[in-house]
Amino acid sequence: MSKKMVAMTLNGKSVEEAVEPRTLLVHFLREKMCLTGAHIGCETSHCGACTVDIDGQSVKSCTHLAVQCEGSDVKTVEGLANAGALHAIQDAFYKEHGLQCGFCTPGMLMRAYRFLQDNPNPSAEEVRHGMSGNLCRCTGYQNIIKAVLHAAKTIQQQSAVAA
């Protein structure tokens, strides 16, 4: 099968790579780009461990082809931190114990990132609904919800200070 060139912005940097047209984005990220944050959990888009942000939308990279990202802006969990400082969402998951085994955490962080972009002041019920496409096998949902709410407050405070 002939390879196709795909160019995208990945975590703020331009990349261009040759890929087989059938290459899933999660495999492209892990194998070609050595970004192993997106985990391969179910390969059916049910668990959300592979969630990334593409052009302002949460996408499960296990069912998305790399070639579909041509010209897109792709952000993975590796792109959340800024100059070594944790993103507010990462810090909140740490402070609120929003992780247990850690397998779902990258996908949860990326979904929380997009969710809070779309709904910066959510209720606990809205967080439950907004995060419902990501599964935690360790049943850490209560702390995940607390972490997302904590991150929302922190981001609001940071925005107020910046304004």
77-135 pLDDT, tens digit per residue, is 999 999 889 999 999 999 999 988 889 999 999 999 999 999 999 999 999 999 999 98
Boundaries of domain holding 19:
4-78
In a domain, 83, yes or no: no
State mean pLDDT over 137-148: 90
Domain boundary among 36, 57, 78: 78
* pLDDT (0 to 100) of residue 155: 96
Instruction: Tell me the whole-structure pTM to 2 decimals.
Output: 0.94
Domain CATH for 23: 3.10.20.30
Q: Do 68 and 98 lie in a common domain? A: no
Strands of 57-60's sheet in order across: 13-19, 4-10, 73-75, 51-54, 57-60
Q: Do 73 and 128 lie in a common domain? A: no
CA atoms within 13 A on the CB side of 92: 22
* pLDDT (0 to 100) of residue 137: 86
Q: Where are the beta strands (DSSP E) in 11-163?
A: 13-19, 51-54, 57-60, 73-75
Compute the mean pLDDT over every residue in the chain, rounded to the nearest whole number. 95
Rounded to the nearest 10°, the torsion over CA 109, 123, 47, 63 is -80
Start-to-end Cα distance in the chain: 52
Q: Do 100 and 69 lie in a common domain? A: no
Domain boundary among 50, 78, 106: 78
Q: Which residues are CB-neighbours of 159 under 8 A, at least 6 positions away?
A: 120
Domain boundary among 13, 48, 78: 78
pLDDT digits 0-9 by tens, 29-88: 999 999 999 999 887 888 999 999 999 999 999 999 999 999 999 999 999 999 889 999
